[in-house]
Amino acid sequence: MGIDKAKALRALYFTGNNSAEAAISWIFENSESDTSSIDFGEREPEGGAIANEEDCDDYKMVFVVNCSLNMGVGKACAQVAHAALGLQLFLLENSKTYAKQFSKWTQEGETKVVLKAENADHLCVLAAKATSLKLPNYLVKDAGRTQIPAGSTTVLSIFGKIDVVDQVTRQLKLL
């Protein structure tokens, strides 16, 4: 299904440019009506005409996989799942500090990105940088029951404001 560019722009406008999911929902909800005649000035976007500073605090969770281990797809997926659960447990255990950020992240679609690291040392350097920026992070060490040696550092997960997380992971490639 193709979506007309003008309709896509209207959808982004009327949903406060918050997410592609919200824009798609708006398009489907308004598919029966002719929106081409709607003037952008007729209705305030759902997020308000001007976003306040608090609304600009978008969060993401990033997973950085140790590619030197040559894990199979299933093994890498399981390790990313361990990293997600480990970090989420940390955030919940420290809810006095992270509840607001975690709630906003879940309300905004739980952005997650999986990236590549060269090796375990690279993961440790990234974890140290994340810690220095006060970003919650979690390093997974494998139990060694299947493909890789016990104690291997497999995945680093990091959570925080997008712009701060990007200070740690900007140079990394997608997995």
Q: Which of 162, 50, 153, 68 is nearest to 118 (CA)?
A: 68
* pLDDT value for 27: 73
Tabulate helix, strand, coil % of the chain (nearest 5). Answer: 45, 15, 35
Written as one letter, the residue type at 66 is N
CATH topology of domain 57-169: Bit1 (3.40.1490)
All CATH 3.40.1490.10 domain ranges in the chain, comma separated: 57-169
pLDDT by 10-residue block (mean), the chain, 175 residues:
71 69 72 56 42 63 98 96 97 94 93 98 98 98 92 98 98 97
Q: Which residue has the tokens 């003008």?
A: 6
Q: Which of 138, 130, 129 is nearest to 156 (CA)?
A: 138
Kindly report the backbone phi and psi dihedral angles of residue 156, in degrees, each rounded to the nearest multiple of 5, phi listed first: -115, 130
Cα 148 to Cα 95: distance, rounded to the nearest angstrom? 34
What pTM does this model have? 0.69
* pLDDT value for 56: 55
* pLDDT value for 38: 52
**Cα→Cα distances 38→16, 19, 130, 147, Å:** 16, 21, 45, 58
For helices 20-29 and 5-14, the axis angle rounded to 10 degrees is: 110
* pLDDT value for 34: 58
